[in-house]
């Protein structure tokens, strides 16, 4: 929850001296936040790994996953990392037009991914896997749901960033703000790389 707050607090402007390490406060804060998030997703992934085989009622994981569909949505999220890094590189060149363009495309790709997840959840629900059906259901929806919420928060941040950038209302170093949100976005992507392999591709 703190990420956008971190992204916009400016250490440089109130420290009376340059930082001891020469690094940006904001970026250091963001990396620490991501390090901390590893423990969060680690807990959720471990819970899922422990419980994925425990199906007292309802469908088994292997019968329900639609690998081709999820592969496509994973690919879309992976490509959104490319568009994000292009946005960061445009922002570093102070190319506002392309920054906004790539940020918008990233947000759209992210939205496609979340849309795919909503479709997947409804399909699973129709096939009889509810949140309360089994341990598999509870832990699967919690893990992927948490990831989906992270993606959605990322989309909101990207869109806010585009809006603020258009009106020139980003306080502080614009390229750094784009870079920080980029870090968050890539992190969400690498978490999905793990989830895609451990949850979808390796059968229980």
Partner 1 sequence: MSTATTHEAATENHEVEHHGLSDKQYIVIALILAALTAIEVSTYYVDFGPFFMPTLLILMVIKFVTVVSYFMHLKFDNKIFSYLFYAGLLLAIAVYCGFLATFKFFLKQG
Partner 2 sequence: MTIIERPSTEVAIAGAVPVGVKPSEALGVFKRPAASSSWRDWVVTVDHKKLGIMYGVAAFVFFLIGGVEALLIRLQLIAPDGKVLNADQYNQMFTMHATTMVFLFVMPMAAAFANYFVPLQIGARDVAFPRINAFGFWCFLFGGLFLNSSWFLGGGADGGWFMYAPNSSTLFSPSHGVDFWTMGLQITGIASLTGAINLIVTILNMRAPGMKMMRMPIFTWMVLVTQFLLLFAIPVITVALFLLTFQRSFDATFFDVASGADPLLWQHLFWIFGHPEVYILILPSFGIVSEVIPVFSKKPLFGYPIVAMSGAAIGFVGWGVWAHHMFASGLGPVSVTVFSMSTMAIAVPTGVKIVNWIMTMWGGKLTFTVPMLFAVGLVTQFTIGGLSGVTHAVAPSDTQQTDTYYIVAHFHYVLFGGAVFGLFAGFYYWWPKMFGRQLSESIGKWNFWLMVIGMNMTFGPMHILGLQGQPRRMFVWTKARAGEGLFNFGFWNRIASIGSFILGVGILLFIINIFYTHKLKKGALASNDPWDARTLEWMTDSPPKEHNFDVIPQINHLDEFFHRKYEQDSATHSVTQVHSADEVMAELNAHPDEHIHMPSRSYWPILLALSLPTIGYGLIYNRMLMAIGVAMVLLTMFGWAMEPATSPDEDFDPPESGDTHTKELVPHG
Q: Does 4 bind partner 2 (CB under 8 A)?
A: yes
Q: Does 167 bind partner 1 (CB under 8 A)?
A: no
Which candidate, 142, 132, 117, places its Cα nearest to that of 44? Answer: 142
Tell me the window of 8-16, 113-121, 133-141, 145-153 that interacts with partner 1 (CB under 8 A).
Answer: 8-16
182 interacts with, out of partner 2, partner 1, none, CB within 5 to 8 A per kind: partner 1
Q: Phi first, then psi: what are they for 27, rounded to 5°? A: -70, -40
Q: Does 169 bind partner 2 (CB under 8 A)?
A: yes
Cα–Cα distance between 145 and 75 in angstroms, integer? 18
Q: Does 170 bind partner 2 (CB under 8 A)?
A: yes
Report H helices in the chain: 3-8, 25-51, 61-64, 67-92, 96-126, 135-166, 174-195
Q: Does 188 bind partner 1 (CB under 8 A)?
A: no
Smallest distance, Å, CB 101 to partner 2?
Answer: 20
Q: Which residue has the tokens 């490509």?
A: 79
Q: Does 132 bind partner 2 (CB under 8 A)?
A: yes
Tell me the window of 87-95, 106-114, 144-152, 153-161 that interacts with partner 1 (CB under 8 A).
Answer: 87-95
Give the rounded distance of the alpha carbon of 64 from its chain centre. 24
Q: Does 6 bind partner 2 (CB under 8 A)?
A: yes
Tell me the window of 29-37, 117-125, 126-134, 160-168 that interacts with partner 1 (CB under 8 A).
Answer: 29-37
Rg (CA), the chain: 19
Name the token pair of 40: 């969060």
Enter the DSSP assignment of 196: I
Give the rounded distance of the alpha carbon of 104 from its chain centre. 15
Q: Does 75 bind partner 2 (CB under 8 A)?
A: no
Name the token pair of 61: 């994981």
104 interacts with, out of partner 2, partner 1, none, CB within 5 to 8 A per kind: none
Is residue 98 within 8 Å of residue 186, measured between CB atoms? no
Residues found near partner 2 in the complex (CB under 8 A): 1-2, 4-17, 19-21, 23, 25, 28-29, 32-33, 35-40, 43-44, 47, 50-51, 54, 56-57, 131-132, 134-135, 137-139, 142, 146, 156, 160, 164, 167-174
């Amino acid at each position: 929850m703190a990420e956008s707050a971190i992204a916009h607090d400016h250490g440089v402007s109130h420290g009376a001296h340059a930082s001891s390490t020469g690094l940006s406060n904001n970026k250091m804060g963001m990396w620490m936040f991501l390090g901390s998030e590893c423990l969060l997703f680690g807990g959720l992934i471990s819970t899922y790994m422990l419980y994925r085989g425990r199906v007292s009622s309802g469908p088994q994981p292997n019968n329900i996953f639609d690998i081709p569909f999820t592969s496509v949505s994973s690919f879309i999220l992976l490509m959104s990392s490319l568009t994000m890094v292009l946005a960061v590189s445009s922002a570093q060149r102070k190319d506002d037009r392309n920054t906004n363009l790539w940020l918008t495309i990233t947000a759209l790709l992210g939205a496609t991914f979340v849309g795919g997840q909503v479709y997947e959840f409804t399909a699973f629900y129709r096939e009889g896997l509810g949140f309360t059906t089994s341990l598999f259901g509870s832990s699967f929806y919690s893990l992927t749901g948490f990831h989906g919420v992270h993606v959605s928060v990322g989309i909101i941040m990207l869109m806010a960033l585009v809006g603020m950038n258009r009106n020139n209302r980003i306080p502080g170093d614009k390229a750094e703000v784009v870079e920080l949100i980029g870090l968050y976005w890539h992190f969400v992507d690498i978490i999905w790389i793990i989830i895609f392999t451990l949850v979808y591709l390796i059968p229980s």
